[in-house]
A and B are shown apart, each in its own frame.
Chain A
């Protein structure tokens, strides 16, 4: 894996983010950053706060304190629409697709292509969907069916197509392979390498240490809402990562 150039301005910086729900600190003073062409893994138990942290970036939550910087500039993200304005796209664990609509309607949901009269241009959207799906998943054929009729992998490729089509610079993936079979998982892994080459930054939230070791450049581990540490995945073993998740301690050879 080619080393990531971290000399420039980071694509995203989350600084001292805090957010609490009813007195519980879901995220407590956490800072992480992301550089172009980098895949940054976020690891931790259920409820460790990794999804909550990243939702401050995707616009689903608003942090109580702390700042978000995009390309070195302070960003105000109050809702998902703001996040999209900063070219931040999110692929949610639950996929966030409207099951009753077809692939094209989902891909363009909230950003429909319209005709001169302001009506939605279904034919154009379907044509665009066919074009991008041909690139991402050439086997995809069910353009007319509602997405409820698609397999897990096909649904995932619709969700990814949505992010890619709108020129995301920053991609957030919440357990993108959780519901997928081995072949479909490989497809997503290949896709991540492809996007990395294009200079996108990717936050990858995952349970699976093995997947993180394979796909990511750096990994941040969270426990009980706090950041345990951020490590270069090449310098740690899977066991080191597991120890961080379970014990909440940085491996000794890296602890300064």
Chain B
């Protein structure tokens, strides 16, 4: 190409820092840095218990429910809306699924039927999606501000959930349903390694194919060493994570019960690791799909364009009303999915399930770099944000900080994160 010479001469005098060469987001590094700082601090205060395999495992499964919803909240906030009703929608989905699996289906199909769990989950996802569509219709087609629709929804849906169950705690839930909760349903050591290695291969392939596509169009690429370094970091992180989850052993008592149920006797000194929880696998799947939607589909492109300039989107022929419905529908679906994980983790449905989740979810998205002015946000940021919030909360619990103080800190962190974000954008420009 003719402009290669001018291109290199323009770039050559500029000194590029290590991070620029790697082309990693400095924001992301900041968040990872904050996360590591929190981990190290709590680890010191708890004599290392905070970073034990057991706690990391628990932290992971506690994060899943909020993290799943936070990915949907990214789309909502990017399109300049807000959803205050996610915790309440989660409660309706959980209440519906509780009734379906503990009372309605057993009467129809009999206890222990294979179909109870799948039908229950479908019911929960459908209910969540429908509520999302309804919210989106009110916001998009009727023009009611999302703040009002979902503030009202916060009260309405919370109490619909109450009405469905009559305020009772519903349980025990279906045994198959419980595997989506976390500790009860894990992949085991071998499968976890297999999945980890597959993820590494996928990461390396993604890096390689992105580079190949850039080269095919003669775009500039980063140096080979930078690509290799990124690949090594990704693989180390994935395999390290799997290794830690595998290192957390299933308690002896529970293993004995498993063997008893199979009519066998547990061999002396037998141990087994937990491995990847199924709920975490669901979160990873959600993260991958949502990232693909955000970056590689027209829907995602329209979501970001609408957030950047709603008028421009409209004039470009994008149906922004329908887009609003879709975005809220995705949010509702993810609330339903979160309800599966949250109620399965608790092993029953309670009347207060998901209370204050709207705060956690919005905080996760915002801490993860989603701009409330719209147009900017990432899925991985929101998940990292959820992890930071959960680490803070459970770390303070382990250290023995009083409950009111914990909530004060969590609330303050949300406000502080937005302040940091504003300062960051002022100094380095909005990106």
* A63 interface contact, C-beta 8 A: no
How many A-B pairs fall under 8 Å by CB? 85
Question: Quick one: which of B50-80 are within 8 Å of A by CB?
Answer: none
* B224 interface contact, C-beta 8 A: no
- B217 CB contact (under 8 Å) in A81, A99, A119, A123: A123
* A4 interface contact, C-beta 8 A: no
* A236 interface contact, C-beta 8 A: no
* A220 interface contact, C-beta 8 A: no
How many angstroms between the C-alpha atoms of A146 and B219 in the bound complex? 17
- A98 CB contact (under 8 Å) in B10, B216, B305: B305
Contact in complex: A96, B317 (CB < 8 Å): no
- A100 CB contact (under 8 Å) in B298, B308, B314, B315: B308
Kindly provide the distance from the CB of B357 to the nearest chain A CB, expressed in whole angstroms. Answer: 28
For chain B, the count of residues having a C-beta within 8 Å of the partner chain is 33
Look across to chain A and name the residue whose beta carbon is closest to the beta carbon of B315: A96
Contact in complex: B216, A123 (CB < 8 Å): yes
Contact in complex: B297, A119 (CB < 8 Å): yes
- A119 CB contact (under 8 Å) in B7, B296, B313, B317: B296
Question: Quick one: which of B302-323 are within 8 Å of A by CB?
Answer: 302, 304-309, 311-318
Given contacts A105-B301, A109-B305, A126-B219, contact A100 B376 (CB under 8 A): yes
Contact in complex: B375, A123 (CB < 8 Å): no
How many angstroms between the C-alpha atoms of A94 and B195 in the bound complex? 50
How many angstroms between the C-alpha atoms of A95 and B431 in the bound complex? 20
* B30 interface contact, C-beta 8 A: no
* A149 interface contact, C-beta 8 A: yes
Contact in complex: A120, B430 (CB < 8 Å): no
Question: Quick one: which of B282-340 are within 8 Å of A by CB?
Answer: 292, 296-298, 301-302, 304-309, 311-318
Convert B174-210 into 0s and 1s, putting 1 for each residue whose CB lies closer than 8 angstroms to a CB of A: 0000000000000000000000000000000000000
Given contacts A79-B317, A98-B313, A100-B304, contact A119 B292 (CB under 8 A): yes
Contact in complex: A92, B298 (CB < 8 Å): no
Please give, as numbers and ranges, the residues of chain B lying within 8 Å of A112 by CB-CB distance: 298, 301
* B400 interface contact, C-beta 8 A: no
Convert B350-386 into 0s and 1s, putting 1 for each residue whose CB lies closer than 8 angstroms to a CB of A: 0000000000000000000000000110000000000
Please give, as numbers and ranges, the residues of chain B lying within 8 Å of A84 by CB-CB distance: 317
How many angstroms between the C-alpha atoms of A127 and B216 in the bound complex? 10
* A148 interface contact, C-beta 8 A: yes
Please give, as numbers and ranges, the residues of chain B lying within 8 Å of A110 by CB-CB distance: 302, 313, 316-318
Contact in complex: B214, A123 (CB < 8 Å): yes
Question: Quick one: which of A35-71 are within 8 Å of B by CB?
Answer: 58, 60
Chain A residues near B (Cβ < 8 Å): 58, 60, 79-81, 84, 90, 92, 94-101, 105-106, 109-112, 114, 118-120, 122-124, 126-127, 134, 141, 146, 148-149
**Interchain Cβ contacts under 8 Å between A and B, 13 examples:** A60-B315, A99-B309, A101-B305, A105-B305, A106-B312, A109-B312, A110-B313, A112-B301, A118-B297, A120-B296, A120-B297, A124-B217, A149-B429
